[in-house]
Amino acid sequence: MSLLDALPTPRLGRGGYPNAVLISLSVVMLAAVWGLDTVSVAPNRIVQGESVNVQNAFGWPGALLVSLLVIALGSLAYQSSRIHYWAALGVVVLLLVLMPFGLMVASHFLIDPELPQARLGIGGGYWVVLFISLLGIVELRLRLGLKRLWPVFILTGVGLIWWLCAWLWLKDLALVQEFKARDHQFIQAIRQHIILVSTAVSVSVVMGTLLALLMRRFARLQKVAFALLNFLQTIPSLALFGLLLAPLAWLAANVPFLAKVGVSGIGNTPALIALVAYSLLPMVRNTYTALEEVSPDTLEAASAMGMHRIQRFWQVRLPLALPVLLEGVRITTVQAIGLTAVAALIGAGGLGTFIFQGLGQAAMDMVLLGALPILILALLVDAGLGALAEALRPGGVQ
C-alpha cells in the first residue's frame, strides 16, 4: 500500500469541492514522515550523527499517531465547510504541540545516559512536517477569513510550549546544547541584530518619505531617483559591503572626526549604509504610490471644505495613504532582517555570526541557532505590520 493510498478517494461533500492545497500538503507531509529521517543521533559534537527513521525514533505507537493526524488533516480537506476547516486547524495545532514531545520520546529511546556528550539532532522529515504545518495554518486562515494576527497568537502559544519542553526536558537536543554553550553571545547577537535593523529601517523611512515628497514636487527627479535605486538593488549584498570597505577606511584615516564617531571600513557603518541603500527602493516606491493614488475627488472635497494644502496633506492624503505606506515599511523591515545576517561578514555582529561560524565548522545546529531567530523575527514583523496596515484601511479588517 503506497502513501497516496492512505488518503481517501476525492469526492464532493456537502461543503463543496475538496481543498486541493490541504490535500497536497497532507500527502507531502505523510511522504516526509516515512521517507525522510526524523532525527539523528551523535555521540558528540564532532562525529556526524546517524539518521533515524520515524519508527525507530518514536516507536510504532508514535509513528502511527503522527500518520493518523496527517491522514485526518487530508480527510478533513475533502469537506470544504467551515466546521471542517476549524477541525483541520485543530489537527495542525495538535500536531505542532506534540512535536516537541516526540523529541522527548526519541531522546529517551535513543540517547545513552552514559554518554554525557551525546546529541539528538532534528532530521529532514521533522523540518518538512514543521514547515508544511505552518503552510497549513496560512491556508486555513485564508479559508476561515481570520485576521492576520491569529497565526501569531497560535504560534506564540505553540512556541511557549516548545520553549518549556526544550528548557526543562530536551537537554540532549543539539540545538539546545548549542544555545546553552553560548547563551550570552546569543542574547548580544539578537540585540545587535535588532538595533541594526531598527536603525536602518528608521533612516530609510525618513529618507524614503522625503525623497518621495521631492519626487512628487519635481517630476524630473522621479526617473533619476528610481533608476539609481533600481541600480542599487542589482548589486549583490556581499559585493556592496566590499565596495564600501575601502572608501570608509580612507575617510576614517583622513578625517579624525569620523574616526571618533566610529566610522570605519568594517563594522556597523558599512552595514548601515548598505542596509539603507537596499531599503530605500521599496520604501520610496510604496510611499510615492500611496501618496499618488489618493482619489482626486477626495482631495477636491477637502478643498471645498476650506482646507489648505498642508491640511489636506496631514488630514486627508497621509491618513488615506498610510496603509500602503505601512506595506512599504513591512517589506523594508523584513528585507532588512534577512540582509543584516550578511553584515556579520564585515564585523557588524548580529545573528549572522552564528550562521557563518556554523558553516565554517560544519555545525548545522549552530547555523540553525542563528537562522531560526531571523525567521521568527521576520514572521512576527510581517504579521504585525500587515495586520496594522489592514486595520488602517478604510472599513478596517473585514
**What is the reported pLDDT for 4?**
45
Q: Is the pLDDT of residue 36 over 90?
A: yes
Phi, psi (degrees; rounded to nearest 5) at 266: -125, 165
Q: What is the share, in percent, of the chain residues with pLDDT greater than 90?
A: 43
Pick the CATH number of 183-392 from 3.40.630.30, 1.10.3720.10, 3.40.50.880, 1.10.10.10: 1.10.3720.10
**What is the reported pLDDT for 395?**
57
Q: Is the pLDDT of residue 92 over 60?
A: yes
Q: Quick one: 146 exposed, middle or buried, by C-beta within 10 A (0-12, 13-18, 19+)?
A: middle
Q: Is the pLDDT of residue 339 over 70?
A: yes
Q: Is the pLDDT of residue 2 over 60?
A: no
**What is the reported pLDDT for 160?**
93
Q: What is the share, in percent, of the chain residues with pLDDT greater than 70?
A: 95
**What is the reported pLDDT for 184?**
93
Q: Is the pLDDT of residue 155 over 70?
A: yes
**What is the reported pLDDT for 23?**
93
Contacts of 119 (CB under 8 A, 6+ apart): 41, 42, 43, 44, 45, 49, 172, 173, 174, 177, 365
Q: What is the mean pLDDT of residues 159-185?
A: 90
CA-CA distances (angstroms) from residue 224 to 220, 227, 230, 274, 288? 7, 5, 10, 20, 14
Picking from 348, 373, 353, the residue whose alpha carbon sits closest to that of residue 363 is: 353
Q: Is the pLDDT of residue 229 over 80?
A: yes
Q: How many CB atoms lie within 10 A of CB 318?
A: 15
Look over the chain and give the mean of its residue pLDDT values, rounded to a whole number: 86
pLDDT digits (tens, 9 = 90+) for 289-328: 888 888 888 877 888 888 878 888 888 888 888 888 898 8
Specify whether the CB–CB gap between 41 and 119 falls below 8 A: yes
Q: What is the mean pLDDT of residues 336-344?
A: 91
Contacts of 89 (CB under 8 A, 6+ apart): 137, 140, 144
Tally the residues of the chain: 398
d(CA 83, CA 89): 10
Cell numbers describing residue 297: 475627488
**What is the reported pLDDT for 350?**
92
Q: Is the pLDDT of residue 52 over 90?
A: yes
**What is the reported pLDDT for 236?**
84
Q: What is the mean pLDDT of residues 147-169?
A: 88
d(CA 358, CA 346): 16
Give residue limits of the domains in the chain: 4-176, 183-392
Q: What is the mean pLDDT of residues 215-233?
A: 86
Q: Is the pLDDT of residue 132 over 50?
A: yes
Residue 209 CA neighbour count, 13 Å, CB half: 12
Q: Is the pLDDT of residue 173 over 60?
A: yes
**What is the reported pLDDT for 8?**
45
pLDDT digits (tens, 9 = 90+) for 363-384: 888 999 999 999 999 988 988 8
Q: Is the pLDDT of residue 13 over 50?
A: no
Specify whether the CB–CB gap between 371 and 319 falls below 8 A: no
Specify whether the CB–CB gap between 52 and 39 falls below 8 A: yes
pLDDT band, residue 53 (cuts 50/70/90): very high
Q: Among positive and negative, which fits the CA dihedral 78, 82, 85, 91?
A: negative
Specify whether the CB–CB gap between 252 and 258 falls below 8 A: yes
Of the listed ranges 86-90, 166-170, 243-247, 258-262, the one predicted with least confidence: 258-262
Q: What is the mean pLDDT of residues 393-398?
A: 58
**What is the reported pLDDT for 190?**
94
**What is the reported pLDDT for 12?**
40
Indicate the helix (H) or strand (E) that contains 41. Answer: strand 39-42
**What is the reported pLDDT for 204?**
93
Sequence-ordered strand ranges (E) for 156-220: none
d(CA 268, CA 127): 33
pLDDT band, residue 16 (cuts 50/70/90): low
d(CA 276, CA 206): 11
| SS3 readout for 320-344 | HHHHHHHHHHHHHHHHHHHHHHHHH
Picking from 88, 95, 74, 89, the residue whose alpha carbon sits closest to that of residue 8 is: 74
Cα of first residue to Cα of last residue in the chain, in angstroms, is 45
